[in-house]
């Protein structure tokens, strides 16, 4: 698969000390790659450098094999969808969308056809004569997306575009973005701090922390096999226990696990709540007491106080917790554990 965007050893540091160092990333044609991480980790710095809104201190950015470092934003084959919709309030939806095409000297009938097709794509047909103020937040963001699509960019850049929308709308917009990508085959780089968003829409996720890349992998791989303790803490819910190496194995109480990472000294064990088994075998389990049961739709989250290890959270089928109550004694064991060096 051909590389549409190549970021090579990109560095950009601000006087505050924040920024990014040595970022390298290749995005394939038609791929949706998400930059994910906490605020201040550098994801927007990378995105804005690709779009030409920031000048990096060093490094190279190639789009379709050509360097764009010296080109201003309007001369790059990119288009950016911002968190704010950036629509002109005094102009109709049609004029907002047609503006960029008029600058490109497109014929009137071609503009009308292209605008109609773009509105069809974002499911807003027939809204050409409305003003942005007459649209909901979700509809305005669709118009902003249509405006970027009309420019037919080689790479579409999206900077937390759905963060101002409510949860239900955000969910709908993610699905629509995926549909649009499937229909257009567009290459997209998406920035978010919302892990659920990243897991649901991405072909690959780039997890960033303190200006560096921690891991680049598919959503499934990031979730199942986090490379570092930071990724394990950041992606999804996770239980953490302290363990020790004893006789070549990782041990927690009476539980023993293979030391596959060949760790020594203190060890952190990471266990997904869905990998916690309640009322396991006496010899191979830890004793605890149920602290709280929260029914969350089709499953329940059970918090278990385990002496010397704190609270362990377990996801259980809703029907399996009907007979359980706070204060009940239980035993826990684990289907799968991940191990990391203690930091």
303-334 pLDDT, tens digit per residue, is 999 998 899 999 999 888 888 889 999 999 99
Give dist(CA 74, CA 270) in Å, integer: 46
b/e sequence 138-160, b meaning 16+ C-beta within 10 Å: bbbbbbbbbbbbbbebbbbbbbb
Cα 68-161-233 angle, rounded to 5 deg: 95
The CATH 3.40.50.300 domain(s) of the chain lie at: 3-230
Per-residue pLDDT tens digits for 9-44: 999 998 888 899 999 999 999 999 999 999 889 999
What digits encode the pLDDT tens for the residues 110-149?
A: 888 989 888 888 888 888 889 988 988 888 888 988 898 8
Mean pLDDT of 295-306: 92
Report the alpha-carbon distance of residue 318 to residue 301 in Å, rounded: 9
- Number of helices (H) and strands (E) in the chain: give both, helices first: 8, 20
pLDDT tens for 54-89 read: 999 999 999 999 999 999 998 899 999 887 778 888
pLDDT given at position 280:
60
Distance from C-alpha of 96 to C-alpha of 86, rounded to nearest angstrom:
10
**DSSP codes, 38-72:** STTSSHHHHHHHHHTSS--SEEEEEETTEE-TTS-
- The fold of 3-230 is Rossmann fold (3.40.50)
β-pairing, 299-306 vs 286-296, is antiparallel
Is the pLDDT at 102 greater than 90? The verdict is no
Considering only 99-103, 115-119, 201-205, 281-285, which range has the smallest mean pLDDT?
281-285
Check residue 1 and give its pLDDT.
67
CATH architecture of 237-341: Beta Barrel (2.40)
Location of each CATH 2.40.50.140 domain in the chain: 237-341
């Amino acid at each position: 698969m051909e590389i549409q965007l190549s970021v090579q050893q990109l560095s950009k540091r601000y006087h505050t000390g924040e920024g990014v160092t040595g970022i390298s990333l290749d995005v394939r044609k038609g791929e949706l790659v998400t930059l994910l991480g906490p605020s201040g980790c550098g994801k927007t710095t990378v995105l804005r450098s690709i779009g030409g809104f920031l000048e990096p201190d060093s490094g190279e950015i190639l789009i379709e094999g050509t360097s764009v470092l010296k080109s201003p934003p309007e001369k790059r084959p990119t288009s950016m969808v911002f968190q704010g919709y950036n629509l002109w309030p005094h102009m109709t939806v049609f004029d907002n969308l047609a503006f960029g095409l008029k600058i490109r000297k497109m014929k009137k009938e071609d503009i009308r056809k292209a605008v109609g097709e773009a509105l069809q794509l974002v499911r807003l047909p027939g809204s050409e004569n409305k003003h942005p103020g007459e649209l909901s937040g979700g509809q305005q963001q669709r118009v902003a997306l249509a405006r970027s699509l009309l420019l037919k960019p080689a790479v579409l850049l999206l900077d937390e575009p759905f963060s101002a929308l409510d949860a239900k709308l955000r969910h709908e917009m993610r699905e629509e973005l995926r549909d649009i990508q499937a229909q257009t085959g567009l290459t997209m780089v998406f920035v978010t701090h919302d892990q659920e968003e990243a897991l649901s829409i991405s072909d690959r996720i780039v997890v960033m922390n303190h200006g560096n890349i921690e891991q680049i992998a598919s959503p499934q791989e990031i979730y199942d096999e986090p490379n570092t303790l930071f990724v394990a803490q950041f992606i999804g819910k996770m239980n953490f226990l302290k363990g020790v190496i004893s006789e070549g194995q990782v041990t927690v109480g009476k539980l023993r696990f293979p030391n596959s990472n060949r760790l020594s000294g203190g060890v952190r064990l990471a266990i997904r709540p869905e990998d916690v088994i309640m009322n396991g075998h006496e010899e191979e389990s830890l004793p605890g007491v149920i602290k709280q049961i929260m029914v969350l739709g089709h499953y329940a989250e059970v918090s278990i106080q385990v002496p010397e290890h704190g609270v362990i959270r377990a996801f259980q089928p809703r029907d399996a917790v009907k007979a359980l109550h706070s204060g009940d004694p239980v035993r826990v064991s684990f289907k799968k554990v991940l191990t990391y060096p203690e930091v």
